[in-house]
């Protein structure tokens, strides 16, 4: 039986862990804001404009994260237990929760990552979504969690252990040796990277052909309902490109942001090994905890009356610090680049839709036991299968939301 005990890999202590998690959150917020990185937009673009470029970037992100963490474990630099220890219980709730999350996030206009960095960039709709997420967490805590916990404890359409039980190297080879981890890493990561690159190239070729055949004045329907995107033929010097990126004159490209985020994930994986949840974590549990502390001011103590809040983490920990620093990083990037502006949607109904979507986001991520970052992306780096379940559930929810929005 593989070990389920964590020991700090490096002996620098908690101050360094907190400092690196703070830095990681800042990098995450900065890079996501500069790259306008959104999991939901990557998926909605598949169903609205038939573009796979951003979705391909997501697959690259998952593949690079799995490849990096798997190689570190396979080479013995990080123990396997640090990779599989925080694998969640898998069950019906991941599929249902991710579907609800995808539907709500697409309606509200952002996943947990983009919701935070856009809120820090002045988008009022995302402020409303955040508040809705707090309400959704409370609804989940009182109305869904008791039943879900019962099914988890009884193993009804659910695993009951997590950890190495959901670790692909163990499932495939029945051990967590270096060769099994390395082989599994390649089996999982290489196809994701290859498919991501293919989808991006396919989209570029598609738009290039559409642009070449575009005739001014021709009805959009002649192009399948989608206008071709413009192409740039003027060559750009690399030095000028880098200078513009450093001086914040232009946003980051999707793939540049993807690489930065993957490296950020590996930074946390290495530094946090043996100390805490050593992955990037953007979770609605933080929103639920903030709601809990807000109600304390009114004399309501949810940790005494509601089981989920009783089991929730303390408000001061590395994950909360990471979320706070993400917002600071996003605000800094948007302010220095001149992008920061208080933005209120012209259609006020978007605020109501954002609030309702936020409620669904709060319900969905708590039911799934994590969000698009804290579970889906993370679980690919953990060499688990929960991320795959979440991916398909979220795609289904986003698709339904696109169809609903077409009729609003």
Please state the rounded mean pLDDT for residues 155-180.
95
This model's pTM is above 0.85:
yes
Residue 313 has pLDDT above 80, yes or no: no
- Picking from 121-125, 251-255, 281-285, 386-390, which range would have the lowest pLDDT averaged per residue? 281-285
Structure confidence at residue 256 (pLDDT): 97
Query: Which of 396, 405, 387 has the alpha carbon at shortest distance from 101?
Result: 396
Structure confidence at residue 351 (pLDDT): 95
> Is the separation of the CB atoms in 99 and 363 below 8 Å?
no
Residue 389 has pLDDT above 70, yes or no: yes
Please state the rounded mean pLDDT for residues 293-309.
82
Helix, strand, coil percentages (3-state) for the chain, rounded to 5, are 70, 0, 30
Structure confidence at residue 221 (pLDDT): 47
Structure confidence at residue 213 (pLDDT): 62
- Picking from 55-59, 96-100, 227-231, 299-303, which range would have the lowest pLDDT averaged per residue? 227-231
- Picking from 211-225, 263-277, 312-326, 375-389, which range would have the lowest pLDDT averaged per residue? 211-225
Place of tokens 């192409």: 231
Q: Distances in Å between the alpha carbon of 130 and those of 112, 320, 356, 358?
A: 9, 15, 10, 6
Structure confidence at residue 286 (pLDDT): 65
Task: Please tell me the distance from the alpha carbon of residue 393 to that of residue 61, in angstroms, as a whole number.
Answer: 18
Please state the rounded mean pLDDT for residues 223-250.
66
Q: What is the greatest pairwise CA distance in the chain?
A: 68
Please state the rounded mean pLDDT for residues 74-89.
95
CB atoms under 10 Å from CB of 155, counted, come to 12
> Is the separation of the CB atoms in 252 and 334 below 8 Å?
no
Please state the rounded mean pLDDT for residues 115-141.
94
Residue 251 has pLDDT above 90, yes or no: yes
- Picking from 133-147, 162-176, 210-224, 392-406, which range would have the lowest pLDDT averaged per residue? 210-224
DSSP code string of 111-161: -HHHHHHHHHTTBHHHHHHHHHHHHHHHHHHHHTHHHHHHHHHHTTTB-S-
Task: Please tell me the distance from the alpha carbon of residue 354 to that of residue 116, in angstroms, as a whole number.
Answer: 13
Structure confidence at residue 304 (pLDDT): 80
Q: Distances in Å between the alpha carbon of 193 and those of 134, 140, 205, 255?
A: 35, 36, 18, 12
Please state the rounded mean pLDDT for residues 16-43.
96
Burial (CB < 10 A; 0-12, 13-18, 19+), residue 251, is: middle
pLDDT above 90 coverage of the chain, percent? 74
Alpha carbon 267 to its chain centroid, in Å, reads 17
The average confidence (pLDDT) of the chain is 90
**Higher pLDDT among residues 285 and 377, named by residue:** 377
pLDDT band with cut points at 50, 70 and 90 for residue 230:
very low
> Is the separation of the CB atoms in 106 and 401 below 8 Å?
yes
> Is the separation of the CB atoms in 379 and 168 below 8 Å?
no
**Higher pLDDT among residues 304 and 91, named by residue:** 91
Q: What is the pLDDT of residues 186-204, one digit of tens each?
A: 999 999 999 999 999 999 9
Residue 314 has pLDDT above 70, yes or no: no
Structure confidence at residue 220 (pLDDT): 45
DSSP code for 324: H
- Considering 38-42, 241-245, 300-304, the range whose residues carry the highest mean pLDDT is 38-42
Mapped onto helix, strand or coil, the DSSP state of residue 48 is helix
Structure confidence at residue 28 (pLDDT): 97
> Is the separation of the CB atoms in 265 and 70 below 8 Å?
no
Structure confidence at residue 287 (pLDDT): 67
Task: Please tell me the distance from the alpha carbon of residue 107 to that of residue 222, in angstroms, as a whole number.
Answer: 29
pLDDT band with cut points at 50, 70 and 90 for residue 65:
very high
**Token pair recorded at residue 343:** 């933005």
CB atoms under 10 Å from CB of 248, counted, come to 16
Instruction: Report residue 105: phi and psi, to 5°.
Output: -65, -40
């Amino acid at each position: 039986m593989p070990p389920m005990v964590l020991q700090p890999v490096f002996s620098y202590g908690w101050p360094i862990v907190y400092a690196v998690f703070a830095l990681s959150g800042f990098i995450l917020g900065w890079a996501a804001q500069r790259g306008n990185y959104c999991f939901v937009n990557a998926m909605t673009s598949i169903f609205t404009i038939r573009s796979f470029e951003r979705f391909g970037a997501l697959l690259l992100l998952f593949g690079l994260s799995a490849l990096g963490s798997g190689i570190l474990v396979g080479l013995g630099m990080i123990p396997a237990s640090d990779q599989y220890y925080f694998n969640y219980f898998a069950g019906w709730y991941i599929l249902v929760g991710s579907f609800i999350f995808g539907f709500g996030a697409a309606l509200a206009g952002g996943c947990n990552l983009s919701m935070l960095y856009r809120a820090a960039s002045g988008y009022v709709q995302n402020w409303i979504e955040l508040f809705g997420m707090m309400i959704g967490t409370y609804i989940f805590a009182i109305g869904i969690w008791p039943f879900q916990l019962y099914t988890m404890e009884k193993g009804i359409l659910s695993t009951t252990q997590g950890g190495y039980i959901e670790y692909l190297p163990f499932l495939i080879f029945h051990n967590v040796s270096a060769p099994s981890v390395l082989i599994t890493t390649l089996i999982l990561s290489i196809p994701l990277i290859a498919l991501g690159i293919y989808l991006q190239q396919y989209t570029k070729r598609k738009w290039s052909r559409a642009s070449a055949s575009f005739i001014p004045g021709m009805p959009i329907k002649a192009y399948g309902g989608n206008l071709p995107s413009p192409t740039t033929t003027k060559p750009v010097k690399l030095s000028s490109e880098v200078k513009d990126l450093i001086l914040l004159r232009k946003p980051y490209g999707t793939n540049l942001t993807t690489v930065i985020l993957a490296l950020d994930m590996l930074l946390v994986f290495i530094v946090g090994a043996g100390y805490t949840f050593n992955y990037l974590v953007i979770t609605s549990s933080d929103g639920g905890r903030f709601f809990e502390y807000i109600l304390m001011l009114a004399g309501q103590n949810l940790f005494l009356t509601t089981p989920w809040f009783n089991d929730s983490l303390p408000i001061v920990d590395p994950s909360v610090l990471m979320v706070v620093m993400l917002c600071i990083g996003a605000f800094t990037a948007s302010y220095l680049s001149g992008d920061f502006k208080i933005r209120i949607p012209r259609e006020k109904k978007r605020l109501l839709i954002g609030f309702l979507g936020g409620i669904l986001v709060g319900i969905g991520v708590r039911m799934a036991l994590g969000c698009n970052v804290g579970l889906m992306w993370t679980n690919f780096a953990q060499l688990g299968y929960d991320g795959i379940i979440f991916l398909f559930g979220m795609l289904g929810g986003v698709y339904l939301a696109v169809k609903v929005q077409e009729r609003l």
